[in-house]
Amino acid sequence: MHLIGKKVIIRNFEEGDFDSFYVLVKNKANHDLSGMEYTTDINEAKKIFYRYMETPGSYCIALKESSLMVGIIELNERGMSGELQKTREVGFIIEGKYRRLGLASEAIELIIKYGFERLGLIELWASAEEDNIAPQKLLVKHNFKYIYEVNQALNFLGGDDKILRYYLLKG
């Protein structure tokens, strides 16, 4: 994958991206807001990083001018039967110091175009934690429509209930 925008490139992960990746996974706020894996153990982070490298549909968001990884964007399969074959779930995160620069917005634009024009998708889904307002606004800006919310009910595992809001964009 290699999509080029004005400020960002969406590309496959490279070995040199690990340091930037580690910044993302060792920040607990990223986990709390997006559900991204969390660890401060560098060896565990390396295992997670290599899993991302090998996962189809997981891509690096990099600055166009330097190729520095600043985030992750994903097109996750929702199922491989019937009409689900032509749908994907979009997930994304930008490292804190690169937020509010329009990078996530540009990455979303690129991935939407890629999904509908090159993959022939008919729907894109996305979700955001109830209290994570920024991605919800970003999704609406890109014509995703709020559909419903679900209580993840993780308190039986010792965690808090998590309300996820789901958004849909049809091609």
* pLDDT for 66 beyond 70: yes
pTM here is 0.87
Instruction: Show the tokens assigned to 53.
Output: 């490298």
Rounded Cα–Cα distance for residues 13 and 50 (Å): 9
pLDDT at 37: 87
pLDDT at 81: 65
State the chain's mean pLDDT as an integer. 87
More confident residue, 164 or 161: 164
Give the range with max mean pLDDT: 8-17, 128-137, 149-158: 8-17
**Beta partners for 3?**
10
SS3 assignment, position 124: strand
Torsion angle in degrees (nearest 10) through CA of 125, 51, 130, 170:
-10
* Mean pLDDT, rounded, for 77-93: 79
Q: How confident is the model at residue 17 (pLDDT cuts 50, 70, 90)?
A: very high
Domain parsing of the chain, residue ranges = 2-170
* pLDDT for 159 beyond 90: no
> Hey, how many other C-beta atoms are within 10 angstroms of the C-beta on 159?
10
pLDDT at 82: 67
The fold for domain 2-170 equals Aminopeptidase (3.40.630)
pLDDT at 149: 76
pLDDT at 80: 66
- The mean-pLDDT minimum among 53-62, 67-76, 113-122, 154-163 falls in 154-163
* pLDDT for 69 beyond 70: yes
